[in-house]
């Protein structure tokens, strides 16, 4: 498989996501990068990072796509993100809650492989405001 070269944009975007306590939207990333690259480049880099297993995608309760770091077990073959994502109704942040894994019970014949579980409410930062 061909190795994709590591560009400055890719490095900066991955650093932003890895250093963030919350999932970031495309818009968040674009604002933080300033003039480093255009929005199309950001989309391409995000897609590449997701395919490489470095980040994962979360769709929040408003339908906005957010990106968060992967925990180290992911690859381009498979992502392991069967954990809760918390969406704050006040500040609209999306946070991965790695230690809360819901049990899913499906009828016979259904084989779960992955799911996206979102809980909405008020985050600790906003509940203390």
Q: Is residue 25 part of a domain?
A: yes
Question: What CATH number has the domain bearing residue 83?
Answer: 1.10.10.10
Buried b (16+ CB within 10 A) or exposed e, 106-115: eeeeeeeeee
Query: Rounded distance, CA 102 to CA 95, Å?
Result: 16
pLDDT of 32 reads 93
119's tokens: 């809980």
Has residue 72 been placed in a domain?
Answer: yes
First to last CA, the chain: 50
CA neighbor of 62 nearest in space, from 36, 83, 89, 30: 89
Domain limits for position 14: 8-127
Would residue 63 count as lying in a domain?
Answer: yes
Say if 29 falls within a structural domain. yes
Structural domains counted in the chain: 1
Residue 47 lies in a domain: yes
Residue 73 pLDDT grade (very low, low, confident, very high; cuts 50, 70, 90): low
Q: How confident is the model at residue 12 (pLDDT cuts 50, 70, 90)?
A: very high
In a domain, 3, yes or no: no
Mean pLDDT of the region 12-19: 94
């Amino acid at each position: 498989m061909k190795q994709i070269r590591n560009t400055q944009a890719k490095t900066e975007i991955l650093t932003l996501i890895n250093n963030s306590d919350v999932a970031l939207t495309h818009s968040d990333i674009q604002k933080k990068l300033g003039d480093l690259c255009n929005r199309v480049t950001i989309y391409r880099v995000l897609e590449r990072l997701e395919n490489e297993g470095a980040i994962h995608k979360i769709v929040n309760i408003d339908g906005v796509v957010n990106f968060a770091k992967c925990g180290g077990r992911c690859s381009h073959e498979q992502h392991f993100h069967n954990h809760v994502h918390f969406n704050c109704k006040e500040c609209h942040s999306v946070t991965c809650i790695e230690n809360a894994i819901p049990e899913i019970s499906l009828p016979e014949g259904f084989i779960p492989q992955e799911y996206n579980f979102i809980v909405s409410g008020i985050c600790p930062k906003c509940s203390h405001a």
